[in-house]
A and B are shown apart, each in its own frame.
Chain A
């Protein structure tokens, strides 16, 4: 079967750094996506990784290791507005997105 695992909830402090991990087992691999979703709103695209390594985009970075079936999203200089759910999604060999259940990130002052 296809499976994506990520922690259910994480808590971090404003101004700090947090790493959200994602492990996956899918039928093929055609890229991994990270999305941010605030409660009651639509997901917004954060990053895309298809090759191993780190992709940096401002305060957010995403890392991929295909051999380990592993990715993480790194958020730096956390702000209160970063409180949201973060969804990891893998595109499989049929170009379908397989979604993780999401990690709810709580930022405390």
Chain B
């Protein structure tokens, strides 16, 4: 099973700042990495698929990058609604797996 390790576990930033979230994968997953956002009491929402493609309706401040085993989600300028938990996910090999999440909290 492919393991995804996200860092940091918690990221404390202020609105307007830039957020950089990391996802390291235990083996190469080609470009099959996605990012999901989850707010308290809500279902997750797809943000990014295949490393860098924004899902429908996702603002341009969200971007993804990386290759091989290291991937990054960047939020260029944080809005109040961006404070949530973020999960990376691989779909290269079954079972598809998620990272443990990074909680982005208001500083």
Q: Do A and B come from one complex?
A: no
Interface residues of A (CB under 8 A from B): none
Interface residues of B (CB under 8 A from A): none
